Amino acid sequence: MKTQKESTKHLKNASLTMALLSSALFISTTIAALELPLKALPDDAERDHWLPEQVNEPGKLEALQAATGKEAVPFTGKLDKPLQIALIYPSSDTSDFWARNYLALTKRLDQVGIKYETTEFASRQIEHSLQSTYATQVAQDADLYDFVIFGPSELATQADNIEKLVNTKGLKTYVWAFHTPLKQFKTQPAAWFDFSSAYGAQKICDYMLERLGNDVTYAMNRGIPGVTDNQRSGDFKDCVAEKGNWNVVYEHYGEYQREGGFAGTNSILQAYPEATVIHNANTAMAMGSVEAQVASDKHKEIFSTGWGGTGLELDAIRRGELNATPMRMGDDVGAATAEAIKADLEGRADQLPLVFLGRITVAHDQLSAEELDALQTEAFRFSGVGPLKR
């Protein structure tokens, strides 16, 4: 692994054979020319993005999910030198999603036999301008890289930067942590890799309605206004209101930061004692929320959720500080990206879905230790069980 500073003067030392390059460029052009949506929906005019089922051709998502879950099949092509991969993502945040999927990506590449070198451009999720600087740098130094993986701080905020990278000649762009291709893009990224926040919101909604019943008063630590929070928080809010007549008394925008979850929860505990549930929209805010609850000795009185099922959240469940979380089979994103890179290099990019979605289940405090361990082992089969060292 090389840091951004270590890479500023390195020369490009990755190249494909001419046959593979020609094939990949031809297929990329074909994908770029694909007219979206493949299937229209009644509410299309209400959205600025396409849904996965509107852009994925039948069977392609399932095929990539299957390849990701199976034993590695060796790369059949040939590389003269290691592949160069740039990663621009908010990996400096509390969530270990980014670090785990980096490990899943690289270990799967190792398994399939693709030589690579990576350059990481790290930020926090609120550092939008820093990501913009990184995107400009990678675009300007495009001759140094073959692939760029972009984990946007927020999709709408980084849309121009994604387009900049997508339209940079010779650079293949993948997007992590979003699955909502924007309609404004004339040319889409090569692929999007994510877990469906809307599906996760539905899963945790159904679980909490079954466990807690109807007419619950609750509060929320929301993230940053945008697609992700609209789904994780907004879809959850709509679901519990429609199906269970739940009443939300306070919504705090904590910007996906631990400090935001801590401050929001303190406000809830002081001003809205009637709230018996706190819904948190990511790991960092969930950790800040339970910290505030433990400090006030309120964690046994409040039902708290996280989002994502990261190692930190599972440990909080084991300690009795967090009650439930929609748990992603976390390593799916990184492993699927490696499989997509392999398919692209083998001239099979036309077999890939535009949007890859990983699996989600609900981890909660009523599962046995053995059941939690089994979920964690499956989810983190590449990155390893237990919190990562920061």
pLDDT tier, 26 (very low <50, low <70, confident <90, very high otherwise): very low
Nearest CA to 88 out of 15, 139, 24, 31 is that of 139
Sign for the pseudo-dihedral over CA of 150, 153, 155, 160 = negative
Cα angle 103-107-108, degrees, rounded to a multiple of 5: 115
Measured torsion, CA atoms of residues 149, 155, 158, 160, in degrees rounded to the nearest 10: 100
From the options 3.40.50.2300, 3.40.50.720, 3.40.50.10490, 1.10.1060.10, give the CATH code of 2-195+330-359: 3.40.50.2300
* Domain 198-307 coded CATH 3.40.50.300: no
Which amino acid appears at position 5 of this protein? K
Q: Are 2-195+330-359 and 198-307 the same fold in CATH?
A: yes
Each residue's pLDDT tens digit, 201-214: 999 999 999 999 99
Identify the CA nearest to 240 among candidates 280, 209, 285. Answer: 209
Per-residue pLDDT tens over the stretch 283-324: 999 999 999 999 999 999 999 999 999 889 999 999 999 999
Residue type, 239: C
- The reported pTM is 0.74
CA-based nearest residue to 307, from 125, 122, 96, 105: 96
Q: pLDDT at position 13, please?
A: 40
Contact by Cβ (8 Å): 388, 100: yes
Tell me the domain boundaries of the chain: 2-195+330-359, 198-307
**Of the candidates 203, 201, 202, which has an alpha carbon nearest to the alpha carbon of residue 232?**
201
